Amino acid sequence: MGSGEQTVLQFVPSSTILVARVHPLVVFNICDSYVRRPDQAERIIGTLLGSVLLDGTVDIRNSYAVPHNEFSDQVALDIDYHQNMLSSHQKVNPKEVIVGWFSTGGVTGGSTLIHDFYSREISNPIHLTVDTEFKSGGASIKAYVAINLSLGEQQLAAQFQEIPLDLRMVEVEKIGFDAIKPTNVDKLPSDIEGMEASMKRLLALIDDIYRYTDDVVEGRVAPDNKIGRFISESVASLPKLSPHTFDKLVNDSLQDQLLLLYLSGITRTQLSLAEKLNTAAQIL
């Protein structure tokens, strides 16, 4: 090679992704799949479902594990299972599409092969890793995208680059998370208990707003226009109902819930009776 010639290796980044946002359900699914994994499996992998928002944020809302076998330089995926699960999920949530894949542990040699498979499913997939063994003292969760290392027009390898990851939860998810967050949980709260806990939290927030408003009026706290607009919009969004109308709506909804519980109880009883009669008929 002449002295004037140079070999240039360059990284070719994929399309820019600002941040990945993962919901708690995804983490719980991954941990549950890891606990239920086959005895010989060292880690599990699976598909991430969600959507890409207009600002480039990848919103990861669901997931499912995909059976696989890993060897020294090969990875075998159950593609039929993957496609059947994807079809079943999209029948329920058609707006959820593949946004990447997950694995327990960290990035390994086989991760490049798996990432290449998902790159054929979508462009620029997310790779989410979850430390289910708590090697760092906590459940370390990281997100990566692949950056290609090329020599001219020839792609040589791929490097995983970490991207910002945000763990977000909506109010319903937060209630469930708060219920199972303690180390020892006797039982999950019932609908009534969950509603009671939500109402207590709502009343506490209303008390905080009252105190903040009084402090601003009395001059003890400097006013904040953003907080004022938020409070104004929240109050304006509430429907104007008389106490009698509100009580009627609550009572009607409660009666509907009780009726559903009654009907579901009758259905379970009928199914149990039919199963016992069928078993007795087979014995006779």
Question: What pLDDT digit, counting tens, does each position of 125-165 carry?
Answer: 888 998 877 666 666 888 888 877 666 666 666 678 888 88
Indicate the average pLDDT of the chain: 80
What span, in angstroms and rounded, lies between the C-alpha atoms of 188 and 176?
Answer: 9
Distance of alpha carbon 269 from alpha carbon 274, whole angstroms: 9
User: How confident is the model at residue 99, as a pLDDT?
Assistant: 92
Q: Give per-residue burial for 140-162: e unless 16+ CB within 10 Å, then b.
A: ebbbbbbeeebeeeeeeebebee
Q: With a cut of 50, list the residues of the chain below it in pLDDT.
A: 1-12
Residue-level pLDDT at 63: 92
Of 194, 192, 193, nearest in space to 176 by CA: 194
pLDDT at 3: 45
pLDDT for the residue 4 = 47
**pTM of this prediction?**
0.58
